[in-house]
């Protein structure tokens, strides 16, 4: 009786070991086996607390180089500036909160913050005017998003980066100086204190869209000025153009179904008249 029981236990244990050894899952971009070390790296992808996909990419990696040079058209010097900017964000984030301190690394800064801010530069209206001296204002720039990445990619455009938090502007001004960005001016001010007439106003999830339109409308050139807003989550109606950052970053020939999810955010573009109408929704 005892020998039969032991035999059954051994059989069940053998089945359990076989089941565990054959199971696999993907964790942080690695295909793993429950009883073995990671076998191969797929891409760096993890789930954040809100279950959103958080793309991570080493700015010095071969894949990053391909994106920056082939898709975004950046020169070696511009790629170096992007890499240096990522390092400066990590450095400054130890002193003040530019991005979440919980998980601030080069890979997170580049993949989650910098790369999506470079995506707008391939949109036709901006790409076709790389050599024109367009005036672009970024109100609520925080750590320089999206203004600094865009200024690196569009050196002939003139940028004004605005924020009401003095400590953040100190960091932004330091980074702009160290990067040698002569096409960038920084301004410590609230939106209503900014004056000028700009071809583009750009922002990244600064406030609700109607509120942001209220801040920006007086800064846009009449009739021709445009607002470019990077947003996640539910996308409001009314945008004249709507681009998925994922689609903008995919290189020619990439299979969208098999490509890593680099961003779920979208880029919305509104004309000056539409911005004025949306601003009324906040009044």
Ordered by start, the domain boundaries in the chain are: 2-41, 58-282
Whether 114 shows a pLDDT value over 90: the answer reads: yes
How high is the pLDDT of residue 172? 98
- Quick check: 230 and 209 in contact, CB under 8 A? no
Section 174-178 average pLDDT: 99
Residue 75 has pLDDT above 50, yes or no: yes
CATH level 3 topology of 58-282: Rossmann fold (3.40.50)
pLDDT at 26: 34
Confidence category of residue 43, pLDDT binned at 50, 70, 90: very low
Checking if the pLDDT of 97 tops 50, the result is yes
Q: Is the dihedral of CA 242, 248, 252, 254 positive or negative?
A: negative
Residue predicted with more confidence, 131 or 240: 240
Contact indicator for 218, 123 with CB cutoff of 8 Å: no
CA distance 5 to 195: 85
**Considering just the CA atoms, what is the radius of gyration of the chain in Å?**
23
* Confidence band for 262, pLDDT divided at 50, 70 and 90: confident
Average pLDDT over residues 82-100: 96
In this predicted structure, the answer to whether residue 30 has a pLDDT above a threshold of 90 is: no
Answer whether the bond into residue 146 is a cis peptide, omega within 30°: yes
Alpha helices in 94-238 (DSSP H): 106-108, 115-118, 124-127, 147-153, 166-179, 209-216
How far is residue 237's CA from residue 216's CA, in Å, rounded to a whole number? 18
The pLDDT of residue 264: 85
């Amino acid at each position: 009786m005892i020998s039969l029981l032991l035999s059954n236990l051994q059989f069940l244990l053998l089945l359990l070991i076989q089941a565990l050894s054959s199971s696999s899952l993907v964790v942080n971009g690695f295909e793993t086996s429950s009883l073995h070390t990671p076998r191969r790296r797929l891409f760096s992808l993890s789930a954040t607390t809100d279950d959103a996909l958080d793309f991570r990419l080493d700015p010095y990696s071969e894949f990053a180089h391909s994106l920056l040079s082939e898709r975004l058209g950046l020169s070696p010097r511009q790629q170096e500036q992007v890499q240096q900017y990522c390092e400066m964000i990590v450095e400054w984030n130890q002193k003040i909160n530019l991005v979440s301190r919980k998980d601030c690394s080069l890979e997170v800064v580049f993949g989650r913050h910098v790369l999506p801010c470079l995506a707008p530069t391939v949109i036709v209206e901006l790409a076709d005017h790389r050599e024109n001296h367009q005036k672009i204002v970024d109100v609520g720039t925080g750590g320089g998003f999206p203004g600094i990445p865009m200024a690196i990619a569009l050196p002939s455009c003139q940028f004004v980066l605005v924020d009401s938090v003095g400590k953040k502007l100190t960091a932004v001004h330091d980074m702009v100086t160290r990067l040698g960005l002569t096409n960038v001016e920084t301004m410590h001010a609230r939106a209503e204190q900014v004056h000028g007439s700009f071809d583009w106003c750009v922002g990244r999830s600064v406030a609700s869209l109607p509120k942001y339109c209220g801040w920006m409308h007086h800064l846009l050139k009449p009739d021709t000025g445009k607002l470019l807003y990077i947003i996640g989550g539910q996308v409001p109606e009314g945008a004249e153009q709507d681009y998925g950052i994922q689609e903008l970053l995919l290189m020619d020939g990439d299979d969208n179904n098999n490509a890593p999810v680099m961003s779920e955010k979208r880029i919305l573009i509104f004309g000056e008249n539409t911005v004025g109408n949306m601003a009324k929704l906040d009044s």
